[in-house]
Structure formats: structure tokens, C-alpha cells
Amino acid sequence: MMRFLNLDDRKDFLGGLMILVLGLATGVQASGYDIGSLRRMGPGFFPLSLGVILGVTGVLLMLTAKAPAAPADRLGPEWRGWLCICAGIAAFVVLGQWGGLIPATFAVVFIAALGDRENTIIGSAVLGVVMTTACVVVFWWLLQVPFPLFRWG
């Protein structure tokens, strides 16, 4: 068989197949509803669009399934990454409740980024500032989510 259909590495191929089947099922189910037009969308427009997007994504995943790499030595769990991600989520909850959006977002990104052994403190801080800025623009300014930027207590 062709290299992209190699089933030795089944996770990408089977994952793509599952997404393709879900997309097809969604599209078939949505075809029973009125689609409408772009100007006046019917109840079936969004499910059909979602089904098409899922189907295309599934096909792309199936086509990019790669042959397995040489077996590597099995390493233990990355405890640093696990701990940093869990600590970042906990910091977001605490700081979101008592500090506001800006400190909570910076903390979750900064702490989670430290879970990668190749990240430095400065790199994590820069990533935290960039992501915090993006979150403030998207969630607070554009979507107007009622989450105060700063809260004391």
C-alpha cells in the first residue's frame, strides 16, 4: 500500500476515519433540515457546514498518517509538565476569583509554559504577556465577557 495508508501507525489514520464518519453523519442528518442561504441561514446551515469541515479534516488526517518512527526507549511520565499544567489551572482559578482576568491569564500561561524543560523564565514571561494581551483583546474587549481585568479581594 501507499505510505500514507500505512496502518502500522493507526492512531492518525483511525482518528481521521472517526472524524470523517462523524462529519458524514452530521452532514446526512443536517440535510433533512432547511439549509437556507448565507443571508438567511436555516436550521441546517450550521450542522451541514460543521459536517463538511469535519469531513475535510478527517480526510486530511487520514492522508497525513505517517509510518511509525523507529521505536524509542520508553520514558517515564513527565512529572514537571503535569505538575506545571495542574498548578497553572489552580492559579487561574484562584487568581480569577480574587485577582481578575489579567493576573489569572498571565499566571496560567507562565506556569504551564515552565512545564517545558526547554522554556526559560524570560521566554515563559514573554509568552504570558503576549497571551494575556490576546485574551484581553478577544474576551474582554471583543466578546465583552463580564470578567473584570483586575479585582482586589
100 backbone φψ class: left, alpha, beta (φ>0; ψ -120 to 50): left
When divided into structural domains, the chain yields a total of 2
Give the chain's mean pLDDT. Answer: 87
- Output the 3-class SS for the chain: CCHHHCCCCHHHHHHHHHHHHHHHHHHHHHCCCCCECCCCECCCHHHHHHHHHHHHHHHHHHHCCCCCCCCCCCCCCCHHHHHHHHHHHHHHHHHHHHCCHHHHHHHHHHHHHCCCCCCCHHHHHHHHHHHHHHHHHHHHHHCCCCCCCCCCC
Q: Which parts of the chain sit beneath pLDDT 70?
A: 1-9, 67-75, 153
Q: How far apart are CA 20 and CA 58, in angstroms?
A: 4
Residues 48 and 9 in one domain: yes
pLDDT given for residue 73 in this prediction:
62
pLDDT given for residue 20 in this prediction:
94
pLDDT given for residue 53 in this prediction:
93
Q: How far apart are CA 67 and CA 10, in angstroms?
A: 9
**CA neighbor of 26 nearest in space, from 60, 7, 53, 3:** 53
Any domain includes 90: yes
Any domain includes 136: yes
- Distance of alpha carbon 117 from its chain centroid, rounded? 21
Residues 50 and 94 in one domain: no
Any domain includes 148: no
Domain boundary among 11, 39, 63: 63
Any domain includes 71: no
Q: Position of cell 500561561?
A: 109
Q: Which residues is 36 bridged to in the sheet?
A: 41
Residues 92 and 125 in one domain: yes
- Residue 52 has which C-alpha cell? 463538511
- The whole-model pTM stands at 0.57
pLDDT given for residue 83 in this prediction:
95
Residues 137 and 90 in one domain: yes
Asked if 151 and 105 touch (Cβ cutoff 8 Å), the reply is no
Residues 53 and 87 in one domain: no
Any domain includes 152: no
Name the residue range of residue 93's domain: 79-142
Residues 49 and 98 in one domain: no
